[in-house]
Amino acid sequence: MITVSGITKQFGDRVAVSDVSFEAPRGSITYLLGPNGAGKSTTMRMIAGLTTPDAGTVRINGRALRELPATMREVRFTLDTFARNPKHTAEQHLTWQARLGGIPTAEVGDVLARVGLAEVADRLVGRFSLGMLQRLGIATALLGDPKTLVLDEPDNGLDVDGILWLRELLTGLAGQGRTLLVASHNLTEVEITADRIVIMGRGRILSDASRDDTVALGSGPRRLESAYLAVTRGSVEYAGAAGEVGQ
């Protein structure tokens, strides 16, 4: 379980996150949604311990991140698709990650196979497509068989087969009792796989409800999209005027 309690972060005069609180329960997929500039990335970086909150606390399975006895067995993150050495192979990258976390390197082959990269284990990461990099990031997160996963846009760059694979992976992990917190803009997949949906805007929580309760806020054929637009109205920093190009 991830418990976020009243976290706030300010950069200079700009408040990026303001008094944000929510929970991601065990055995479920919780999605973190919001327009660009909503504070999602800053929130996830505070959960990962990469950014220190000015106020508030984050608990993972009841403890602060630094208090976890075996961090990589408890929680893993994918927050930067491009945080790789392009001159390393996929196998070398995962082996390095495993050694950093005190995880047996024997697990590397297993996670490469699990994400469909076993046949390119010896290929340089610098030659990977975006979709392959996403799979490698997910493989990195699966090292150590963690109880909790925090994933930032894990389907970005995946093709249709990849998205279907990811859907089965995430729902399967949740079915095993793991905690998943996922930031996404893919509302179709959110509507299919979410248990809970947290929506942010301008650094604050706008909505925190079950998938069914969130979808019930919408109407029409794309109800989650409708609900999302209604909730985030007034919180979008970059809005253009539709239909004006070329007119």
- Looking at residue 11, which CATH number applies to its domain? 3.40.50.300
| Residue 23, domain member (yes or no) | yes
Where residue 144 falls (left for φ over 0; alpha for ψ -120 to 50; beta otherwise) is left
The answer to whether residue 243 scores a pLDDT higher than 90 is: no
* Domains: count for the chain: 1
Chain segment 135-149, per-residue pLDDT in tens = 999 999 999 999 999
Beta carbons of 38 and 234 less than 8 angstroms apart: no
Question: Does residue 71 or residue 61 have the better pLDDT?
Answer: 61
Beta carbons of 18 and 56 less than 8 angstroms apart: no
Beta carbons of 82 and 37 less than 8 angstroms apart: no
pLDDT at 85: 82
Tell me how far apart the alpha carbons of residues 116 and 135 are, in angstroms, rounded to a whole number: 8
Summary mean pLDDT of the chain: 91
pLDDT at 138: 94
| Residue 232, domain member (yes or no) | yes
| Residue 133, domain member (yes or no) | no
pLDDT band at 187 (very low <50, low <70, confident <90, very high): very high
| Mean pLDDT on 28-42 | 95
Chain segment 221-231, per-residue pLDDT in tens = 999 999 999 99
pLDDT band at 101 (very low <50, low <70, confident <90, very high): confident
Q: For residue 72, give Cα distances in angstroms to 33, 38, 115.
A: 25, 28, 18
The answer to whether residue 239 scores a pLDDT higher than 60 is: no
E strands present in the chain: 2-11, 14-24, 28-33, 55-60, 75-78, 148-152, 179-183, 196-201, 204-210
Range of the domain at 10: 1-61+181-237
The answer to whether residue 88 scores a pLDDT higher than 90 is: yes
pLDDT at 84: 74
pLDDT band at 60 (very low <50, low <70, confident <90, very high): very high
Beta carbons of 209 and 199 less than 8 angstroms apart: no
Tell me how far apart the alpha carbons of residues 229 and 239 are, in angstroms, rounded to a whole number: 12
DSSP state of 63: B
Tokens 């930031």 — which residue?
183
Q: What is the dihedral of CA 124, 94, 189, 152, to 10 degrees?
A: -100
Q: Nearest-CA neighbor of 231 among 212, 247, 214?
A: 214
pLDDT at 247: 43
pLDDT at 197: 98
Chain segment 157-167, per-residue pLDDT in tens = 899 999 999 99
| Residue 245, domain member (yes or no) | no
